[in-house]
Every structure is written in structure tokens, then in C-alpha cells.
Amino acid sequence: MKKKGESISAKTLPLYCESLFYYERRTTNDVYIGNTAMGSKRPIRTQTMTTTDTLDIESTVEQCIRIAQTGADYVRITAQGIREAEALKLIRAKLCANGYDIPLIADIHFNPAAAETAACNVEKVRINPGNFVDKRADFIKIEFTDKEYQQELTRLHDKFIRLLNICKENNTALRIGANHGSLSDRIMSRYGNTPAGMVESAMEFLRICKKEKFDNVVVSMKSSNTRVMVQAYRLVVSQMKTEGMAYPLHLGVTEAGNGEDGRIKSAVGIGTLFADGLGDTIRVSLTEEPENEIPVARALVEYFRDRKKHSDVPVADVSFYHPYDYVKRASKAVKNMGGNHAPVVMADLSFLSSIYEKDIENLGFTLTENGWRGNDSTPDYIYMGSGFYDFITDGLQFFDDENNDFIFCNISYLTVQFIQWLKQNPHVILILETNSANGVAEQRSFFLKLAENNVGNPVIIRRKYNEDELTELQLKAACDLGALLIDGFGDGIMLSNSVTINKVPNTEQAIVATAFGILQASRVRFSKTEFIACPGCGRTLFDLCETLAKVRSATSHLKGLKIGIMGCIVNGPGEMADADYGYVGAGPGRISLYKGQTPVKKNIPQENAIEEMIALIKEYGDWHEREINKKLGKGTPDFLI
């Protein structure tokens, strides 16, 4: 049993994946969703969700067709009431009449009756275990005796068994979709608002499915916090192993936002799980048109398609691995790396024969009378090929590779002699590279072997790519680096790309921005405001894309602050549980503003909402005016070599 404050290692619970050192998809049973089955024997499926009013049959059908034309395997549609659940039958009929048989999934919150109706009309129903039987959480502590808690489980069983029987009769699949932000007060009172609480919330329903021999079920553990999301999925797989279950997984990061932030955040969460063979269907939740999600999802699936074809990865001691909670690798502080320092970003200009002022400016630095100035998006170090320049110290400081300040290495370096040398030279910073097709496993093994041998040198993770499309680089790098950062590995990152990126005038700055985005999405370094924005659905009460753009414009300078933009109360205080402030649709033209999970300004006119939000942020002391630049170094070199 875990004690308070004690970390959970990979030896404490059954390992969530087949192996940490070779790639193999987790074995699951098949789930039949219309004509498109899901499971480990099948390709990883992609899906998205409509944003139209479900009662607007024509618009919903048109959007479903656009989604199907992008290559999606499934389409999800909200059904908040009986009328919407009944409308699904008409939507299915019209799609068939137009020659589209893509399976439909009903999304249900708070309404078992709607779920029962929808189960007769579509191929799959998603229910949220946090609100299917329990009421909306008030975030209050409730004390249950064991007898009272068992009575609650009996009530849950009686309500859920009716839906199960309807699903059996109609060959309808189910998704038990737990969300970090919408756990019930009952669960949170006993397990906390934690990955363990998410797992238990779902397991209560899965145990009934197993008892009733209903295997046509999929599981999800979603959160806008990638760390919570990854830990919850791993825990639920471990728990299912313990209880003899092998249900497929639906992966996704909720409220990821839009643009590159949404894509990077989704790739960090989904890619971390993909890297260890977890996941059978995915949804990339972007605050954009739903058809924009499918190319991103397909790119992620494609990146892992041939992952099994990799060279052997040396096996390490898994007792030093902590996949179920966050434990930062212990390392010595050297300069501003390692120890308690946040991970650094290193820019790679080694492909240039000479470095001129314009190359430094291309990274976002400004040369003034008082020296070079940068900001929260400029790199901490620049690698020139002959060595490194440090823009953190008071001056432009050079570190020569020949002085062994930095050592480029890979896992083959870890001989007995090299390990002993590192112990004698704790000031050395390692730049860890890999050429393996399963680079995540190989670099993770390197970190575990350092732990085995009690080596505490700081390690910078370097990954090299050959991408001419920025989105491809962002997705692949987020998968590879996020998977290590999520687990507490790495004192910094360096991204290298061997070609110029198409239609990007400043490739180097875009790569550095990607590095900072990965650190933020992995929750190890915050360099900008984080926007937790829902992707929208038929319940949305305002234009999400337009509103997100306005909120971002007004608040994007508030470094480290998390702001939620939610289209309706269903995705309100719960789904943005990780946010500092929230902007939530309360009704047509009306907005409620939240501080954390508490509504503090209710039903204000939408036209005043952003101004009121700024006033609220100021009231709590989290507002500051925009800064121009910050000083990072002195000197005005003509060029650097």
C-alpha cells in the first residue's frame, strides 16, 4: 500500500505496457462499432466531434460528411436530451441516404434516459462515469461509511444495468469516458481529484461490464493536464490487468486549445502513451473546425506505424522508473541546469559555418546599446558547432567542447569506465542523442542506467529531424521529448532540423518556439499563458474560435497563468479544473467568470466579459502590464564562430 508522500515505481504495480524496452501494442479484445472494429489487432482509429446543434439535422449531416471525407473512422455527436438522442436516428438515415455509413457515437452527460434512447439509434454511446448517476460535483467533502458507499454503488449498478441491456439488444458499443475535471463529489471525497480517482470512477462501471460479460466497451481517462492524463491511462491499464480486463483505450487530451499549442499539447499526451504501445483510437481536441483534427490524428498514428522495427534497447532496472506519479530525476546543479532548475532550451546553429548578428536576431534577440536583449521565448544556450554560448549569465559566455563542459553521447557510451569518469567529473553536462527508431525507449534506458549507477550529471535531450513541414516537426518532437519530460527525465532539450521548413521565414526561431511549447505542454517550464479551450460541440453557446482569439489577445502576456474558455456549463468548472481563471458560457449571450472552480461573476453580458475578466485577474493580483524585453547579455560582437 502506498504511504503518503511515497512515490509509485514500476515495481509497485503491474507494468502498464508490454515492455519499457521494445515496442509492442498492448493486447486488447475487439470492440465492434458498426462496420469499423477497434482493438489491438486493428489499425489505430481516428475520430472527432461535431460542433453543430444536434437538432439542426441538415447542418449536422453536412458536417459529418465533411468529417468522413477527411478519413475519420468515427464521428461523435452530443445528445444532451431525449430530443437530441432521437435526432440521431434521422442523422444516421440521411447519412446513409448520401452513401456514408461512418459509425456515429452519442456523447452523453447527466442524462441516462438520453443514453438509453441514443443506444437504439447509433453504433456507440459515450457516458461520463462522473455524472451518469452522480449529480454535478459541488466540490465538497462528503463522508461515507462503508455501508453507505456500497449503497451508492448499488444505485449505480441498477441505473447502469438498464443501459447495458439496451446496448446488448442493439449491438451498441460503450465508452466509459472519465474526465479529470468532472469526477463526482463521492469519488473525490474518497480518492481525491487525482488520476487514482479517475481510475476508480471508471472501474466501478467496468466491473459491472465484466460481471455482465459485456466486452463491447472502450475506456478513456482524459485531462487537459498531460501529466495527469498519462498517469491516469497507465494506472487504469495496470488496474485492468490486475482485474483481468483488456478493454481498448480511447486517447485524448481535453481542451488542448488551437494552433500549434493545441497540436503540441495533444502530441505530448497521446505520443507518450503511443510510445509504449497504448491506444486504440484517438481524438485530437482542437478549438477549430472538427475536420482539422483528423489530419493531426492521422499524422500521430502514422509516426508510430513502424515503431516495432527498431534495434535492441539495453534493459535497465525498472525500479528507478516512476510512471504513475511525477518524480523528477535527481541531478546536480551545473550552471543553470540540473538540480531544481527548470529545463533549458538550446538552439542549434551548428549547421552554419559562421554566426552573424542576423542569426542571433533570428532567434528573437535584439541588439541594443546595452547589449543583447531577449525574452521568455529566446533560447538559454546557442550551440555553434565549436561550442556553446550562454545567454543566461551577465555576459556572452563561451563554453568549448574541448574543455569537456558538454559531452555529446548516446547509450553506447555507458561503459564502466565512462560511468566512473562521470562520477569524477560532476560538472560535465551530457547531450544525449539517439538514432534508434525507438528513441524514447533508448533514451529512457540511458536515464535509468544513470540512476542505477548513481550518476547525477545534468542531461540535455537532443533529437534530430529532417522535416520540411513545421507541423510534422512539432508533432514528432512533442511525441519524442514529451514522453521523457512527462516522466521527469531531462534537464533541457535541443531540437535540430537538417532542412529549411517550408513557408516558415525563420526556421530557427520556429524550432526554438516548438521547444518551449513542448516544455510547457509537458508541464516542466511555463514561458507563456496557457489556454485551456474546449473544442466545441452542439452545447456550445458562443463562437469559441473568435472568443479564444480575443481572450488570447488580451491575456497572452501573463506568463504561467492558465485560462479556461469553455463553451457551456457542462465543460465549465469541471473540465477546466486546472485553470486559474475561467470564461464559461452560461446561456445565450451570457458568460460566467470563474476563479479556479468558483464562479465569481455570473451571467454577465458577453460583450463585457473580457473586460470583466481582466478586472477579475487584477483583483486577485495576477495582472501585470506587458514587458518589452529582458536583458540577457552584454557585448556587441560583430560575429560569432
Angle (CA) 546-65-250 rounded to 5° is 75
**Which CA distances in Å does 349 have to 346, 495, 498?**
10, 10, 10
Does 252 lie in the same domain as 374? no
Does 467 lie in the same domain as 548? no
Instruction: Profile the chain (641 residues) by mean pLDDT over runs of 10 residues.
Output: 48 86 96 96 97 96 97 96 97 97 95 96 96 78 86 92 97 96 88 93 97 97 95 97 97 87 96 98 94 97 89 91 94 94 94 82 83 83 75 47 76 95 94 95 97 97 96 98 98 94 90 96 90 73 82 86 80 69 87 86 89 90 72 37 32
- pLDDT of 640 reads 37
Does 261 lie in the same domain as 120? yes
Examine the fold and report which residue of 523, 544, 577 is the final residue of a domain before the chain moves on: 523
Does 299 lie in the same domain as 326? no
- pLDDT of 394 reads 42
Written as nine digits, the cell of 556 is 497572452
Does 538 lie in the same domain as 517? no
Domain that holds residue 267: 32-303
- pLDDT of 12 reads 73
Q: What is the CATH number of the domain that holds 263?
A: 3.20.20.20
Q: What is the CATH number of the domain that holds 538?
A: 3.30.413.10
Residue 3 within a domain? no
C-alpha 222/C-alpha 596 separation (Å) is 19
C-alpha 59/C-alpha 91 separation (Å) is 10
- pLDDT of 626 reads 72
* DSSP code per residue over 133-184: SSPPP--------HHHHHHHHHHHHHHHHHHHHHHHHHT-EEEEEEEGGG--
Does 88 lie in the same domain as 63? yes
| Contacts for 358 with CB less than 8 Å, ≥ 6 apart | none
Sequence-distant contacts of 433-438: CB under 8 A, at least 24 apart: 433/408, 433/409, 433/462, 433/463, 433/464, 434/410, 434/463, 435/410, 436/310, 436/311, 436/313, 437/306, 437/307, 437/309, 437/310, 437/311, 438/22, 438/23, 438/275, 438/307, 438/310, 438/311, 438/313
Residue 632 within a domain? no
C-alpha 85/C-alpha 160 separation (Å) is 17
| Contacts for 597 with CB less than 8 Å, ≥ 6 apart | 139, 573, 574, 577
C-alpha 342/C-alpha 492 separation (Å) is 8
Residue 600 within a domain? yes
Three-state SS string over 410-476 comes to CHHHCCHHHHHHHHHCCCCEEEECCCCCCHHHHHHHHHHHHHHCCCCCCEEEEEEECCCCHHHHHHH
Candidates 400, 405, 404, 380; CA nearest to 390 is: 380
- pLDDT of 633 reads 43
Residue 628 within a domain? no
CB 367 within 8 A of CB 361: yes
CB 21 within 8 A of CB 314: yes
| 8-state DSSP, 319 | G
Residue 313 within a domain? no
- pLDDT of 589 reads 86
Does 124 lie in the same domain as 98? yes
Written as nine digits, the cell of 383 is 550551440
Does 596 lie in the same domain as 482? no
Residue 27 within a domain? no
Does 170 lie in the same domain as 286? yes
CB 186 within 8 A of CB 152: yes
pTM exceeding 0.75: yes
Does 196 lie in the same domain as 61? yes
Number of structural domains found in the chain = 3
Candidates 53, 14, 20, 412; CA nearest to 242 is: 14
Does 58 lie in the same domain as 114? yes
Does 596 lie in the same domain as 477? no
Candidates 424, 422, 511; CA nearest to 471 is: 511
Residue 5 within a domain? no
- pLDDT of 395 reads 43
- pLDDT of 559 reads 82
- pLDDT of 641 reads 32
Residue 635 within a domain? no
Examine the fold and report which residue of 491, 523, 555 is the final residue of a domain before the chain moves on: 523
Q: What are residue 102's phi and psi, to 5 degrees?
A: -60, 130
- pLDDT of 141 reads 81
| Contacts for 32 with CB less than 8 Å, ≥ 6 apart | 171, 173, 216
Examine the fold and report which residue of 484, 507, 523 is the final residue of a domain before the chain moves on: 523
